């Protein structure tokens, strides 16, 4: 059934009277209606968002799956740090055993929790952002208050929080994959949208990831009517993903120095990881892919290494997110492909937007 739903995400939205897609469509309409009611309750003041004693920037998307939220979060955190601001990242901690309770992953100097406890992305961000504390909690209000009480930040960055409107924000940045920003246009479970497209109107800016020339115009072409006019008034920034190779110690390396590699990953878009490896010129001996946030076991890594050796690979190649989970299990050399966000000509406009939160 899971495979069927994933295929349904990719079609053109047409349904057949005898197709199970009709049932998914019905569920989507219910899910979408609930999302609209929730937003409306906050718009009309029936529900009131909680405000933190710090400026808050939320980074998120409308669709399930990877759009590059983590590279954007890393970019924003580093930029604010360079400006001398005290920054804390608050994340749900998806997949972590302490997500429901909430916990401090890092105080900016020491990483206290494992990926099993905190989730893979918070640990990865904590390791890559010295000086930036990371706090997790499925209750973002409680996690945000903990972050402010403990670290007194100037700016709190909410990772993957576009739908978490119970916590007020000063800047709402929406990410969308330029190649297919809204999937088939349907809300879960019939499509990949987490909520109806009308939620786009809550954004202060849109960042298109994996974007080429003319991406902003292509993005607007997916919209119509009042929503299109609202979106046309938003700043829309184009960005691309820049990939780089490094060894197990984080030292940059070339594809030639890497040698034949066995690829593996457990992210939302494994094909993008493989495409990045090919773009770098990596010699790919074989590959194996898993679902997003996959909890690797010792047995799986042992089997994966055996498969890699059978393929003639001399090194395992994975993502930063997967590396933090498997590095204590591997016996073969382990290298990573890192992804960063590149705004090109839009860089100045993006940093000007972020700078709004630092103004008196």
How crowded is residue 319: how many other Cβ atoms within 10 Å of its Cβ? 22
Contact 62, 197 (CB under 8 A): yes
Q: Is 93 exposed, middle or buried (0-12, 13-18, 19+ CB in 10 A)?
A: buried
How are strands ordered across the β-sheet holding 240-246? 240-246, 334-342, 315-319, 261-265, 284-289
Residue 63 counted as an annotated binding residue: yes
Residue 251 counted as an annotated binding residue: no
Taking the CA atoms of residue 89, residue 160, residue 55 and residue 99 in that order, the dihedral angle to the nearest 10 degrees is: -50
- 358 alpha carbon, distance to own chain's centre: 24
Residue 225 counted as an annotated binding residue: no
Spatial separation of the C-alpha atoms in residues 248 and 294, rounded to whole Å: 20
Residue 281 counted as an annotated binding residue: no
Residue 69 counted as an annotated binding residue: yes
Residue 65 counted as an annotated binding residue: yes
For residue 208, give the 3-state DSSP assignment. Answer: strand
Binding site residue list: 63-70
Binding site residue list for ATP: 63-70
């Amino acid at each position: 059934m899971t495979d069927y739903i994933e295929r349904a995400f990719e079609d053109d939205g047409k349904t057949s009277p005898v197709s199970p897609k009709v049932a998914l469509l019905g569920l989507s309409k219910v899910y979408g209606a609930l999302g609209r009611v929730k937003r409306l309750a906050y718009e009309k003041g029936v529900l009131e968002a909680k405000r933190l004693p710090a400026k808050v920037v939320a980074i998120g998307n409308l669709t399930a799956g990877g759009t590059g939220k983590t590279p954007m979060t890393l970019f924003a955190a580093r930029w604010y740090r360079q400006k001398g601001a005290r920054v804390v990242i608050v994340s749900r901690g998806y997949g972590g055993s302490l997500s429901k309770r909430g916990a401090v992953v890092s105080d900016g100097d020491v990483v206290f929790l494992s990926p099993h406890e905190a989730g893979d992305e918070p640990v990865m961000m904590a390791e890559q952002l010295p000086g930036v504390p990371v706090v997790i909690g499925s209750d973002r209000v409680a996690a945000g208050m903990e972050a402010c009480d403990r670290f007194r930040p100037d700016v709190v960055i909410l990772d993957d929080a576009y739908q978490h409107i119970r916590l007020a924000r000063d800047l709402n940045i929406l990410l969308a994959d330029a190649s297919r920003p809204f999937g088939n246009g349907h809300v879960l479970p019939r499509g990949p949208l987490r909520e109806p497209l009308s939620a786009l109107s809550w954004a202060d800016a849109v960042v298109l990831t994996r974007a080429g020339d003319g991406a902003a115009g292509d993005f607007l072409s997916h919209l119509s009517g009042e929503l299109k006019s609202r979106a046309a008034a938003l700043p829309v920034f184009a960005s691309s993903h820049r990939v780089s190779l490094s060894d197990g110690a984080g030292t940059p390396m070339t594809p030639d120095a890497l040698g034949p590699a066995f690829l593996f990953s457990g992210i939302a878009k494994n094909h993008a990881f493989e495409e990045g490896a090919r773009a770098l010129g990596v010699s790919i001996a074989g590959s194996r892919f898993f679902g997003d946030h996959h909890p690797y076991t010792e047995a799986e890594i042992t089997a994966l290494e055996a498969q890699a050796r059978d393929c003639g690979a001399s090194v395992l190649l994975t993502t930063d997110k997967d590396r933090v989970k498997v590095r204590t299990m591997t016996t073969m050399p382990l290298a990573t492909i890192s992804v960063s966000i590149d705004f090109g000509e839009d860089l100045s406009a993006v940093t000007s937007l972020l700078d709004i939160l630092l103004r008196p």
